[in-house]
Amino acid sequence: MSLHTVFKKEDPSIYHVQTHARGPIGQLPLTAQMLEESPSGDIFGMTQNVGMGWKPEELLGKQVLILGTNGGIRDHDGSPVALGYHTGHWEVDLLMAEAAKEIREEKGVPFAAFVSDPCDGRSQGTVGMFDSFPFRNDAALVYRRLIRSLPTRQAVIGVATCDKGLPAMMIALAGTHDLPTVIVPGGVTLPPTVGEDAGKVQTIGARFANKEITLKEASELGCVSCASTGGGCQFLGTAATSQVVAEALGMAITHSALAPSGQPIWGEMARQSARAALEMEKNKITTKDIVTDKAIENAMVVHAAFGGSTNLLLHIPAIAHAANCSIPTVEDWIRINKKTPRLVSVLPNGPDYHPTVRAYLAGGVPEVMLHLRKLGLLHEDVLTVTGATLGENLDWWEQSERRSAIKKRLVDADGIQPDEVIMSPQQAKAKGLTSTVTFPSGNLAPEGAVIKSTSIDPTVIGDDGVYRHTGVAKVFTSEKDAIRAIKTGGIEAGDVMVVMGGGPLGTGMEETYQLTSALKYLPFGKHVSLLTDARFSGVSTGACIGHIGPEALADGPIGKVRDGDVIEIVIDCVQLEGTVQFIGTKEKPLSVVEATKLLETRSVHPELKPNAQLPDDTRLWAALQAVSGGTWRGSVYDVDRILEVLEAGQKALAKERSPI
How confident is the model over 379-432, as pLDDT tens digits?
Answer: 999 999 999 999 999 999 999 999 999 999 999 999 999 999 999 999 999 998
Angle, to 10 degrees, between the axis of helix 165-174 and the axis of helix 312-322?
20
Q: Is residue 112 part of a domain?
A: yes
Task: Note whether 162 and 275 are same-domain residues.
Answer: yes
Task: Note whether 243 and 360 are same-domain residues.
Answer: yes
Beta strands in 385-543 (DSSP E): 448-450, 466-476, 496-499, 529-532
Catalytic one among 261, 435, 537, 628?
537
> Could you give the percent of the chain with pLDDT greater than 70?
99
Q: Is residue 218 part of a domain?
A: yes
Strand partners, 65: 111, 156
Query: What own/partner pairs with CB < 8 Å and gap ≥ 24 does 485-492 have?
Result: 486/206, 486/515, 486/518, 486/519, 486/522, 487/205, 487/206, 487/209, 487/210, 487/518, 488/209, 489/210, 491/524, 491/528, 492/524, 492/528
Output DSSP code: residue 258.
T
Task: Note whether 174 and 206 are same-domain residues.
Answer: no
Strand partners, 582: 567
Count of domains observed in the chain: 4
DSSP string, 459-486: GGB-TTSEEEEEEEEEEESSHHHHHHHH
Nearest one of 321, 426, 442 to 374, comparing CA atoms: 426
Q: Count CB atoms within 10 A of the CB of residue 5.
A: 7
Q: Is residue 143 part of a domain?
A: yes
Strand partners, 167: none
For residues 477 and 605, is the Cβ–Cβ distance under 8 A? yes
pLDDT of residue 245: 98
Q: Count CB atoms within 10 A of the CB of residue 135.
A: 23
pLDDT of residue 537: 77
Task: Note whether 500 and 371 are same-domain residues.
Answer: no
For residues 529 and 545, is the Cβ–Cβ distance under 8 A? yes
Residue where a domain terminates, one of 377, 398, 426: 426
Phi, psi dihedral angles at 546 (to 5 degrees): -125, -175
pLDDT of residue 538: 67
**CA dist., res. 125 & res. 578, Å (int):** 29
For residues 179 and 290, is the Cβ–Cβ distance under 8 A? no
Task: Note whether 582 and 625 are same-domain residues.
Answer: no
pLDDT of residue 1: 58
**CA dist., res. 280 & res. 274, Å (int):** 10
Alpha helices in 225-374 (DSSP H): 238-248, 264-282, 287-290, 293-306, 312-322, 330-339, 356-361, 364-374
Q: What is the domain-level CATH number for residue 577?
A: 3.50.30.80
Q: Count CB atoms within 10 A of the CB of residue 80.
A: 12
Q: Is residue 25 part of a domain?
A: no
Specify the DSSP element, H or E, that contains 412. helix 401-414
537 noted as active-site residue: yes
Q: Is residue 314 part of a domain?
A: yes
Task: Note whether 442 and 519 are same-domain residues.
Answer: yes
**CA dist., res. 178 & res. 155, Å (int):** 9
Residues of the chain with pLDDT under 50: none
pLDDT of residue 513: 85
**CA dist., res. 437 & res. 355, Å (int):** 21
Q: Residue length, the chain?
A: 660
Residue where a domain terminates, one of 555, 574, 601: 601
Task: Note whether 202 and 287 are same-domain residues.
Answer: no
pLDDT of residue 436: 84
Residue 203's domain comprises 192-226
For residues 300 and 315, is the Cβ–Cβ distance under 8 A? no
